[in-house]
Structure formats: C-alpha cells, structure tokens
Amino acid sequence: MASCPFLFTPRSPPLIATHRRPTLASRAHLPVSSRSRLSRREGCPCRCASSSSSGRDGPQERPPRSRQRKQRTQRPSRDDAIDPVGFLAKHGISDRAFAQFLRDRYKALKDRRWELHSRLIDLKEASSGFELMGMHRHRQHRMDFMEWAPGARYCSLVGDFNQWSITENCAREGHLGHDDFGYWTIILEDNLKEGQEPDEYYFQEYNYVDDYDKGDNGVDVEELIRRMNEEYWEPGEVRSQKSRLEVVAKLYEQMFGPNGPQTDEELGDIPDAETRYNEWKALQKDDSASSLPCYDIIDNGQEFDIFNVVTDRVSFEKFQGKSPPLAYWVEMRKGRKAWMEKYVPAISHKDKYRVYFNTPDGALERIPAWATYVLPDAVGKQSYAVHWEPPPEEIYKWRFGRPKVKGSLRIYECHVGISGSEQKISSFQEFTSNVLTHIKDAGYNAIQLIGILEHKDYSSVGYKVTNYFAVSSRFGTPDDFKKLVDEAHGLGLVILLDIVHSYASSDELVGLSLFDGSNDCYFHSGKRGHHKYWGTRIFKYDDVDVLHFLLSNLNWWVTEYRIDGFQFHSLPSMLYTHNGFSTFTGAMEEYYNQYVDKDALIYLIIANEMLHELHPDIITIAEDATFYPGLCEPTTQGGLGFDYWVNLSVPEMWLWHLENVSEHEWSMTKIMEVLVSINSNMLSYVENHNQSISGRKSFAEIILQKEKHSNSSVDDGLVFRTSSLLNLIKLITFTTSGGAYLNFIGNEFAHPKRIEFPMSSNDYSFRLANRQWELLDKGIHKHIFNFDKDIMSLDEKEKLISRGSPNVHHCDDTSMIIAKTKLIVITR
C-alpha cells in the first residue's frame, strides 16, 4: 500500500493641570463664562464616572483613571487577566523559545495599540475611516473627498463633472488641503443655479438623506438664539462678551491703567497662584445668581491629566444631565427639495472620476483607494471610479434583520459569476432569484461568497483584489448586492465573505501598487513587498495608516452591507516572509523563527478584537495551511482570536487517496488520524473551490473517470458504487468536523465537471465556468443530493457537528470499519 503524506498598567500622574495652559493668575480675572469653558474643556467632566452622591458638600476628588482604554477582547470578559502564553499549558506546549516569542509579540502589540490610539483614539475610530475617506456628501451643499497619498506633491479630482480638468478641483494649500500624515482633502462646492441667491448663512445645512423630505421651517438665527436663551440656558449660564479682546483689555487696564500699580513698592509681593485663586474664589461666593459649574483646577507644574480634576459634585451631575442643544440647530436645516431648487450637485450620481497626483516621478491618475464602485477597464478604455449616490427614494431599504446561527455552521461556498447554467458571468440578481432558495432547501445555514471584492482579472477568481471597498461591478451594483444579502437574511442564511488581506493585486493603474508613485505606500518595499510566486503585493502591516485602511475595510463590509463574518484567505502569505512556500515539519521553531512576520500576527489580533468588540455576533474563520498555534484561542491568552480554523489537510488527504490508492486498500486508521487529530473549532470540507479550480478535477469527475476506465458501460452498479463512495466520504468528514462544515457550489450533487475560468489558455471560454443545475433531478446526482440534504437535516435536528470531538471506539483497517460516537448534551 502506498504511504500517506498527510500525517504530520502605567502609574497615574498627580491631580494637576499642565503648565502650557493659561495660568491661574490670568484665569482669576476671566469672566465666569470664559472660566467655565476653559474648565469644561480641560477637565472633560463628560467622560468621568460618578463616584459620590450629590448630597456631599464641597469638591470631591474622583479616583484616578488610566489614559489608555482597556481593550475588549473576544469571548473573555474585560476583567479576565491577560496571559500572553496562556494557551500553551492548555495544549501541552512547553517550548520556552516560543513562549518568549509570544511575550515579545504581546509587548509589540501594546506598542502598536498605543500608536493606533495616539492617532485614532480607539478601535472604533481606527476602523471607521470610510466615514471620512473617499467621496462623501456634506450637509453644507458640498462634496468632501479625502485620500491618503504621502508621496504626492499635488492632488486633484478629474472626471465627467469637470471635463477631466486637473486644476479645477484640487486640494488647497496648507493644512486645510494636505496634512503632515499625507492625507489630502478636496472640497467640491455645489453650483448655484442661475437666478438663485447664495444662502444667508455660510453654515446653512440641508437634509440630503436623513429626513430628506423635511425642513424649511423658516427659523432664522436670531429667533433660534432667542429660543435657546429662554428654553435651554438657565439664568447666569450665558454671559456674552462684546469683543474677543474684552478679557485682554480688562487685564491690561488692571495692570497698566491709571489705577494700577505705578512703582514696585505699590505692586508688592505677588502671592503664588493657588493663594490668588483662593482669594478670587472667596469673592465669587456672593454671586448667588451664577449657576455656572464650579471646577477647581490646581496647577502645580506637573503634567496635565484630564481624568483627574477636582470638581463640585452638584455641578458635575447637573452638567452631565444636560443634553446638547443640537435639536435647535437641526431646525435650521432645509429639505432636499430646497437644495434641488437652489443648487446643481458638484458631482452627480454615476459620474465617472479618478484622482490625479503630481509626484516626483511625474503625473499619475489613479482609482481612489476608498472608491465604493469601480468599472474596470474595457477594450481601449481606462478604468474609473463611479460616484454612487442614488436619490433617497431609490436607496435600497433593508427589510430583514441579521439572523443568528444556533449551533453548527453549515456553509455553502459559492462564486456568483459561475452560479448560473449559461456560459456567461452571472449577476447578483440571478443569484438572488435562482440560487438562494436552493441553498435554503438543501439545508445550509450560511453562505460564503468568494470574488465579491472588485478585481481586474476575472481569471484570478477574485483573489487579486484591486479595489477593497467596491463590490465587483461584473455582478451588478452595490444595491444589487445589498438585496442579495437582505434576501439571504430573510431566509435565515448568514453571509460570510472570503476576504483577502494577505496580499493584493500588483496592478498599478487600477489597484494600490505604487498608488502615490512611491513603492512603500501600502506595501513593503523591496522583495518583502512582493509575493514570491503569485506576483502580488504584501501589505505593510506595521504602518498605522495601512492598519487604518484594512481595519476600516472589514468594518465597512459589516456596516454598509451587513456581512455576518469573514474567512481570512491564505494566511501563510502574510504570516511568513517566504509566503508559506516552505517545507513545514511541524517543529515549533517554524512558528517563531526569522521568517515569521510578527506585524502580520499583530494585525490579525487587532482585527479580531475590533470585529468582536464592535460586532459581538461576528464570525471569523482562519484559512491557514500551517496550523499556526493559537488560531482560535482568545487574544487575552496569547491566541489570534478566530472563531474557526480550516483544516486543509482533510481535502488533500481524500484527494491523495482517490488518485493513488484503490478504495479497497484505504487505511481507516490514517484517515481518522487526520480527521480527529485536532478537532476543536475546526471547519472541515471534502472539497472546496481549490479542488475544482486550480487545474484540478472535482472528486466526482475523478471517481467517474476511474470507474469508466475499469468498466465498459455505466450501469446501476457503477452508479451505486460511485454515489456510495462519495456519500461515505461526506458522512465521515461531516461527523468529525469541529462545529463547521463547508461545501462548494455544485458538489452537493456531485457536479461532474471542474471549474475553469476564461483565460488565454482556453481562448477565454465560459464552457466550464458554470454549473449544470439540470443534473439535480437525474440519476446519481439526485441520489447524492438527497443524501447531502439528509445529512444537513440530521444536523439541524440533532446538532451533530457542534457536540465536540467524536469518540472513536473502533477503527479496523482489515475489515475497513470505523465506530465512533459524539457526546449528546441535554440542556433543561
């Protein structure tokens, strides 16, 4: 028998204000309203928690609070202790060098978090870049565009809206147009229609989307301020100043005016700041009419800490209880109809545009990195971004909420483009109408979509992504994809995306490569920035702005399209500088040697923490052929924080047996060793797209061809033997999975043909880029589909694959018998 190759806390500073703030000597002479504003801004009372009752007299000191927010992690509570090597004892790993690597990685993780928080406050802010970047409608009758291109010297927008002029809509000079981090801002003012007068107030806002049919209440600023003074502010809370120099003038007059000290003797000794402040405060006790908050900020020359300010509890609780007066300003907004009467949009819905850069190497035109809809280049035409801003009446309205998966995941993996029976690229609409109901009837509860992100090369199956925030325009519009997700949710199906953050397309005209003319904008420079075998680019995972881009990309798909989870594709490409193309022996050294990219590991930890913190029901799956230790362990215990990991050895093991060993000589022992060696949180599958696409054949095609070679005709016995072998392989794999099972589109009924995308080698033919749905009701395919459907129904009723690892009682190679059970958990 042939051999089987698959068995292998910082210290809190004192209560103080910084010396860079105005001194108490100058504050003592400020009006109460000005002093209150300074105190509110510096003390930041709105972020402090209550620590005493309002009945106590005098100022109360709140306990110190750490500057850095404690990170929420997956599954463990916030109070769980952090142990960077916690999962090693659980799995019996005693490698000291690997333990030290995990401790060093945790130190680097804390530094990376600090870098992120120093720029972007917290994980929510770090993953919400899509709210600012790219093209956005501003309420003040304009469009705002922001792009990150640190290597550019000049930035402008060109498109249909300005006849592709490189000078008409450019970023302003100075920090208003270009900041120190390389972010460019361009403002496109809406055009005033002929005969219309400009708005009376420059801050006039319009409702474009939210309550777009409301507005035009006729409230002017004077009336608004009068109502605020009468209804919102209490007596003494508003003290107006005649001029911004009023306080300065009073201070100057007091010191140098005719009544001020004329000699050093008259000036006398100047008391210290705290004494002068106490004297000033004693004079304010007689001002009983003042209802301003009373904040004591003592400046002793130490570093200022906004979390430790002595406050008056009554004033603090009163301030916390008052909501901001935003409702008054909302009344000033005008409706969309008023905007349409007065303005012509600077850029209209479906207008084409690109971003223009002037770089040290010359002029460049690029597709914006944050573009949400892109049309790839056609014959003789360059690709471009499309401004997607449909009228509010035409925006897709979500109908169904997100379903929740109870128990195991039964995933149906599919590619929209090949989901039809015709020899063409299928669309989102066709998939929604024809395939969703089949998936539901087949008994699956999750759909994993591949090739959804925009990609220039269709033959890459969608893995060479060019535009990370855009759905592939080959399949339809963004609203078409929203409808697909919504209809799937209505059927109780969750949607998972196969996300590719391990590498990106090297295309320079459509993708991110050399985006701003420099070789190290989004990707590493030199050899490290290029995949050794696939010709793709590797992200620079240690850069804050690149992390901002990648984290925002994950959050974008969950927020905008209500995606329920992600499978992180081909992790070895990012985890190792050799991109996973190396012989792995299973030695622990291979997981912490010089070829391991620590920055990529840190990114995966932060990504999982962000997703599970902002979206607690999210599902994350790791596709890692090297089985990196701790993939599904909590991040607080040294793991990467995934929910499931894909066991890639299972389909390779079955493929090897089918191609090299007669089924009468299969070793049950070796098969079960691969299937149950590590079962926790394991996603298993018989064959996915890899077995059908990468120049290989489907299992059904392999078995049928072997039987046809050994039999002159196809009879009922051949059909029975073929279906039985495929069904047994499915049943064994399904019942040994660790909570999740995956099937590729068509394999549930033993699709007889492989998949081959149009490419030069096949003259760009679509002959094998489809699915033969007519076979569902015919012969062997009908038998296999019914068996697959029964397995799914069994798991739906008995929660079979979510019970944990199976107990193997008997495994005999001679008789080829496997006896196993799974624990039944009964809850009351």
Catalytic positions, please? 623
Indicate the residue type of 521: C
Instruction: Pull the structure tokens for residue 464.
Output: 């060479």
Q: Which of 618, 608, 604, 550 is nearest to 120 (CA)?
A: 550
Residue 140, Cβ density class (10 Å: 0-12 exposed, 13-18 middle, ≥19 buried): middle
Rounded distance between C-alpha atoms, residue 654 and residue 303, angstroms: 65
* Phi and psi, residue 495, nearest 5°: -110, 125
CA dihedral 655→660→665→666, nearest 10 degrees, is -20
Tell me the chain's radius of gyration from C-alpha atoms.
33
Q: In whole angstroms, what is the distance from residue 455 CA to residue 387 CA?
A: 18
Q: State how far the Cα of 454 lies from the Cα of 375, in Å rounded to an integer.
A: 9
State which amino acid sits at residue 271.
Answer: P
DSSP code of residue 101: H
Contact predicate 217/226, CB 8 Å: no
Distances (CA, A) of 406 to 436, 447, 496, 563, 824: 20, 15, 16, 17, 16
**Largest separation between any pair of C-alpha atoms in the chain:** 122
Buried/exposed 428-452: b ≥16 CB within 10 Å, e otherwise? bebbbeebbebbbebbbbbbbbbbb
The residue among 726, 605, 618, 613 whose CA lies nearest residue 663 is 726
| Alpha helices (runs of H) in 590-685, residue ranges in sequence order | 598-614, 649-660, 668-676
- What SS3 string covers 504-524? ECCCCCCCCCCCCCCCCCCEC
Q: Which long-range contacts (CB under 8 A, 24 or more apart) does 178-182 make?
A: 181/119, 181/148, 181/150, 181/545, 182/148, 182/149, 182/150, 182/151, 182/152, 182/516, 182/545
C-alpha–C-alpha distance, residues 115 and 109, integer Å: 10
CB atoms within 10 A of CB 293: 21
DSSP 60-90: EPPPP--SSPPPP-SSS-TTSPP-TTHHHHH
Using DSSP's 3-state secondary structure scheme, residue 539 falls into: strand
Measure the CA–CA gap between 385 and 524, rounded to whole angstroms. Answer: 26
Q: Which two tokens stand for residue 399?
A: 């109908």
Rounded to the nearest 10 degrees, the angle between the axes of helix 96-120 and helix 544-561 is 80
Helix axes 668-676, 716-735, angle to 10 degrees: 40
Spatial CB neighbours of 120, under 8 Å, sequence gap ≥ 6: 126, 544, 548
Dihedral of CA 625/626/632/636: which sign? Answer: negative
Question: And the tokens for 552?
Answer: 């925002």
What CA–CA distances, in Å, run from 39 to 99, 326, 574?
Answer: 48, 22, 48
With CA atoms as reference, report the closest residue to 741 among 519, 503, 448.
448
